């Protein structure tokens, strides 16, 4: 996964689930009741607790005073839509990076193309 940006409640937030601060990962684990490694799987599977943990982590980076209860009034459908847009953009960026990497010739491939073959 890569950095995911989403716009919600009139502001833009971002979070990269692959690179949380230790304190963030600990809070997420406590909230979702699972090891942090399960977090992105739970997001993909639509667990509400994972969405809330993701949103809180991103929001707290901009608004440190935010607490889980502050998100209780957020419309889940709008949050899911906002995160889905961010997740799609992140997946697209990762796919483009993988395609670009696949197009870079490797030194071994270049040497094989340049070496003579015996007939």
Tell me the C-alpha distance between 19 and 27, whole Å. Answer: 14
Per-residue model confidence (pLDDT) at position 88: 73
Tell me the C-alpha distance between 38 and 29, whole Å. Answer: 9
CA angle at residue 30 from 69 to 78, to 5 degrees?
45
pLDDT band at 53 (very low <50, low <70, confident <90, very high): very high
Tell me the C-alpha distance between 46 and 80, whole Å. Answer: 9
Per-residue model confidence (pLDDT) at position 117: 59
19-35 residue pLDDT tens: 999 999 999 999 999 99
Average pLDDT over residues 49-72: 90
Ranges of each domain in the chain: 4-114
Three-state DSSP class for residue 7: strand
pTM metric for this prediction: 0.68
| Torsion region of 86: left, alpha or beta (phi above 0 gives left; psi -120 to 50 gives alpha) | alpha
């Amino acid at each position: 996964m890569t950095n995911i940006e989403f716009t919600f409640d009139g502001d833009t937030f971002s979070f990269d689930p692959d690179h949380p601060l230790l304190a963030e990962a600990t809070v997420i684990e406590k909230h979702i009741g699972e090891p942090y490694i399960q977090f992105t799987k739970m997001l993909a599977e639509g667990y509400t607790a994972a969405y809330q943990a993701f949103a809180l982590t991103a929001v707290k980076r901009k608004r440190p005073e935010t607490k889980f209860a502050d998100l209780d009034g957020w419309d889940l459908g709008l949050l899911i839509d906002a995160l889905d847009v961010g997740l799609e953009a992140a997946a697209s960026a990762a796919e483009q990076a993988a395609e670009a990497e696949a197009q870079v010739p490797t030194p071994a491939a270049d040497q094989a193309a340049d070496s003579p073959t015996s007939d």
